[in-house]
Amino acid sequence: MRFLGFAVVTGAAMLLGACGGGDKAAESTPDAPAMDAPMAETPAPAAGAAAAITGTMHEVKMIGDASGYRYDPIDISVKAGDGIKFVFVSGGPHNVAFDATLLPADVKAQLEANMPNQASPLMGPMMLAEGEDYTLSLAGIAPGSYEYFCTPHLAMGMKGKITVTP
Ligand SMILES: [Cu+2]
């Protein structure tokens, strides 16, 4: 309940950073706050291993229109510790998912820890409405390039790439 007061993304990130080291056991909330409100990307540390965003917040649009289904930008470069907010613009449903077979083991484990509300391992929740968003922390992710995709639109080529630099 008390998370609802923090509406701003940076506020939520700071909140997590502030209390992340304290009580790690009691962080799992029964009601997932990210489901109902556009600004509710309050990260819910799953197994206590999630790494909070400490750097810049980037934005990637999720678009489906007459030109096709795509992430914009398709390639994005971030620094370790940065975060990406994926914003549903049009033409959904959209999500963000990674292929475990393409990831180094350490990156796979950290992404699983960092991704809130996974529908299945490494698959973010399905977003159904314009204006919804999904925030992913790249904190703790080793430098490298990692491809991701939209599950409903993979066959239509909706893929993106995140390059993490040191
Ligand atoms: Cu999509």
Q: What is the mean pLDDT of residues 154-166?
A: 97
Nearest by Cα to 108 from 59, 144, 60: 144
Question: Mean pLDDT over all residues of the chain?
Answer: 82
Q: What is the mean pLDDT of residues 123-143?
A: 97
pLDDT at residue 49 in the model: 81
DSSP-derived secondary structure for 59-123: EEEEEEETTEEEEESSEEEEETT-EEEEEE-SS--B--B--GGGS-HHHHHHHHHH-TT-SBTTB
From ligand 1's centre to the CA of 71, what distance in Å?
8
| Antiparallel, parallel or unpaired: β 83-88 and 57-65 | parallel
pLDDT at residue 15 in the model: 41
Contacts of 11 (CB under 8 A, 6+ apart): none
Residue type, 25: A
Count of residues in the chain: 166
**pLDDT (tens digit, 9 = 90+) per residue, 34-64?**
444 444 444 444 444 899 999 999 999 999 9
- Ion ligand 1: residues, CB < 5 A: 94, 150, 153, 158
From ligand 1's centre to the CA of 115, what distance in Å?
17
Integer Cα distance of 47 and 59 in angstroms: 26
Percent of the chain with pLDDT over 70: 71
pLDDT at residue 8 in the model: 40
Lowest mean pLDDT among 24-33, 44-53, 155-164: 24-33
From ligand 1's centre to the CA of 100, what distance in Å?
19
Angle 120-126-129 from CA coordinates, rounded to 5°: 170
pLDDT at 132 over 90: yes
Contacts of 32 (CB under 8 A, 6+ apart): 44, 116, 117
Give the global pTM. 0.71
**pLDDT (tens digit, 9 = 90+) per residue, 78-113?**
999 999 999 999 999 999 999 999 999 999 999 999
From ligand 1's centre to the CA of 61, what distance in Å?
10
